[in-house]
């Protein structure tokens, strides 16, 4: 580099290193690369020099001009960034003050545990090809009893169990089995469906007894349905619900609408079948009644019993919820108490 250019360069670099703000930088810019800046003037000052020198100086000073411009642009950018950041700092917010730390009342949201488990079980059945049905809570004698092979003098019809209305013909359904009857009325075999919903029992309430609770009825009707099929469905269902391989056993149980009828027990989930206080040392917990649909019930449903048979079962949803979460008082379920439901919140 020619001496004179080098001199201006040194001079610039010294000045540049001392620049503190954008304004002085702009001054420096016009001083060196402005219209009549120092770099532009170099060539003019060499009017009398030879061509070769002029060419060399011109090349060098152009190079210097480029360098200077770039340095200044970069410096401007860094000044601007500094300014923006300063501004940001002024507007700084306290990012630790999340909503969840503030008292805004109750802000959690979620489903009632019974409706959550109901949906979970519905989904399992839908995945196995079952429809979901429902029926009225206020039923007549026919759908709740007669069509389920529960004849006129059967103890199940007693006042102790059933809420009756004044006409003594209508009642609050005592089980979701009435949905079986409604299902058979509306469907042609083969079919399979579940019917979840509220049921009512005339029973004094305490921590483990409720007058309103929830069941899920299931029914499958087809050709050549066997007890082995019933066990298969129950085992699949329960393994899904409890999210692990669940052992079940059937023992005889009497329900007028099934024959053979069973009580289905599951291996105690608390002790794994070894025996504990929950399973009364037996290793098994009674979970649901089920069985092969009684031929009389199929006949009431206008189903040809020479061709079709089927199975049915009823699952108590409240029990399941209480088992899953260790809920000690069933009355919480219908209390409308947000301290209760908020424990099962989604968020």
Partner 1 sequence: MLVSINWIKQYVDLPENITKQELGEKFTLATCEVEKVEAINQYFDLVKIVKVTGVEPHPSADKLRLATVDLGNGESATIVCGAPNVRPGILVPYAPVWAVLPGDFAIEPRKIRGVESCGMLCGETELAIGDDDYGLKEFPEDAPVGMPLSKYLGIETDIIFDIDNKSITHRPDLWGHYGMAREFATVFKKELKDPFSAEWKSAIESKIVKGKSQVERVIEDGTACLAYCSAVVKNVKVGQSPDWLKNRLSSAGLRSINNIVDISNFVMLELGMPNHIFDLSEIKGNKIVIRQAGEDKEFVTLDEAVRNLEPTDSMVCDAERPLAIAGIMGGLNSGVSDSTTELFIETANWVDAMIRKTSTRIGLRTDSSLRFEKHLDSQQCKLAMYRIIDLICQICPDAVVEGDIEFGGVDSKPYSPVMITTSAKTITDTLGIFVDEAEIVDILQRLAFLVEKKGDKLSITVPSFRATKDVSCEADIIEEIGRIIGFDNITPVAPESSLTTVRLSPAKQKERRIKDFLVYSYKALEIMTYPMVGEALLKKAQWPELNEELVLVNSISRDADRMRPSLIPGVLKACAENVKNYSDFRFFEFGRSYHAGGEFAVEKPVLLVGAFSKKATPFMELQDKIEELCSVLRLRPRFEQKSLEQIVPSSWVGIHPFENVGVSAMGKPFAQIFTVHPSLMSEFKMKGFLSLAVVDLSNVMDVELSSNVKYLPLPKFPSSTFDCTVVVPSGEPVARLVEVVSKVKIKEIASVKIADIFEPEDSSKKYVTVRTVFQDRAATLTREFLENSYNQVVKSLEKAGFGLKVD
Which CB, 80 or 158, lies closer to partner 1? 158
Spatial distance between the Cα atoms of 190 and 311, rounded to a whole number of angstroms: 12
**Rounded least distance, CB 308 to partner 1, Å:** 12
Q: Least distance to partner 1 from the beta carbon of 270, Å? A: 19
Question: For partner 1, which is the closer residue by CB, 67 or 134?
Answer: 134
Instruction: State the Cα–Cα distance between residues 38 and 40, nearest whole angstrom.
Output: 5
Nearer to partner 1, 71 or 156 (CB): 156
Q: How many CB atoms lie within 10 A of CB 240?
A: 17
Give how far the C-alpha of residue 281 lies from the chain's centroid of Cα atoms, to the nearest Å. Answer: 36
In the complex, minimum distance from the CB of residue 42 to partner 1, in angstroms, rounded to a whole number: 53
Q: Which residue has the tokens 């770099």?
A: 39
Of 62 and 236, which CB lies nearer to partner 1 in the complex structure? Answer: 236
Four-residue CA torsion sign, 277, 283, 286, 287: positive
CB of 121 to partner 1, least distance (A): 13
Using the minimum distance from each CB to partner 1, give the nearer residue, 12 or 262.
262
| Complex with partner 1: residue 132 or 271, whichever CB lies closer | 132
214 beta partners: 198
Taking the complex as a whole, how short is the minimal distance between the CB of residue 298 and partner 1, in angstroms? 10
Cα–Cα distances in angstroms (integers) from residue 224 to residues 11, 18, 259, 292, 308, in the given order: 103, 97, 15, 11, 7
Q: Dihedrals φ, ψ of 275, to 5°?
A: 110, 120
**Smallest gap from residue 19 Cβ to partner 1 (A):** 46
| Contact criterion met (CB below 8 Å) for 104 and 114 | no
Closest C-alpha to 131, from 197, 219, 223: 219
Q: Residue 124 CB, nearest distance to partner 1 (Å)?
A: 12
> Cβ closer to partner 1: 33 or 194?
194
Shortest spacing between CB 326 and partner 1, in angstroms: 19
How many other CB atoms are found less than 10 A from the CB of residue 245? 9
Coil, strand or helix at 61: helix
- Work out the number of other CB atoms within 10 angstroms of the CB of residue 138: 13
Task: Give 33 or 290: the residue with its C-beta nearer to partner 1.
Answer: 290
Q: Smallest gap, in angstroms, from Cβ of residue 54 to partner 1? A: 56
CA–CA distance, 106 with 332 (Å, rounded to integer):
18
Which residue is listed with tokens 């092969």? Answer: 292
Which of residues 87 and 277 has its CB atom nearest to partner 1 in the complex? 277
Q: How many CB atoms are located within 10 Å of the residue 330 CB? A: 19
């Amino acid at each position: 580099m020619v001496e004179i250019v080098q001199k201006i360069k040194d001079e610039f670099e010294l000045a540049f290193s001392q620049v503190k703000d954008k304004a002085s930088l702009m001054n420096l810019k016009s001083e060196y690369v402005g219209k009549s800046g120092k770099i532009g003037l170099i060539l003019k000052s060499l009017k009398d020099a030879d061509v070769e020198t002029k060419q060399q100086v011109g090349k060098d000073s152009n190079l210097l001009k480029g360098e200077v411009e770039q340095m200044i642009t970069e410096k401007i950018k860094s000044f601007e960034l500094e300014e923006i950041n300063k501004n940001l700092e002024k507007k700084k917010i306290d990012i630790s003050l999340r909503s969840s730390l503030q008292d805004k009342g109750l802000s959690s949201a979620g489903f009632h545990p019974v409706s959550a488990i109901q949906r979970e079980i519905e989904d399992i059945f839908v995945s196995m090809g079952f429809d979901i049905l429902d029926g009225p809570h206020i039923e007549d004698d026919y759908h709740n009893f007669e069509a389920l092979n529960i004849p006129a003098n059967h103890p199940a019809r007693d006042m102790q169990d059933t809420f009756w209305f004044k006409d003594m013909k209508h009642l609050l359904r005592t089980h979701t089995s009435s949905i079986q009857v409604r299902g058979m009325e509306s469907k042609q075999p083969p079919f399979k469906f579940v019917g979840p919903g509220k049921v009512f029992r005339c029973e004094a309430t305490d921590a483990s007894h409720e007058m309103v609770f929830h069941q899920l009825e299931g029914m499958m009707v087809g050709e050549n349905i066997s007890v082995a099929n019933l066990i298969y469905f129950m085992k699949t269902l329960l393994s899904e619900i409890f999210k692990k391989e669940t052992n079940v056993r059937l023992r005889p149980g009497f329900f007028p609408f099934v024959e053979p009828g069973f009580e289905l027990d599951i291996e105690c989930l608390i002790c794994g079948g070894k025996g504990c206080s929950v399973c009364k040392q037996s290793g098994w917990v009674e979970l649901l009644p089920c069985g092969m649909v009684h031929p009389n019930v199929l006949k009431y449903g206008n189903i040809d019993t020479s061709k079709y048979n089927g199975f049915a079962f009823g699952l108590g949803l409240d029990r399941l919820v209480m088992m899953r979460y260790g809920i000690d008082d069933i009355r919480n379920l219908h209390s409308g108490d947000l301290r209760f439901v908020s424990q099962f919140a989604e968020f």
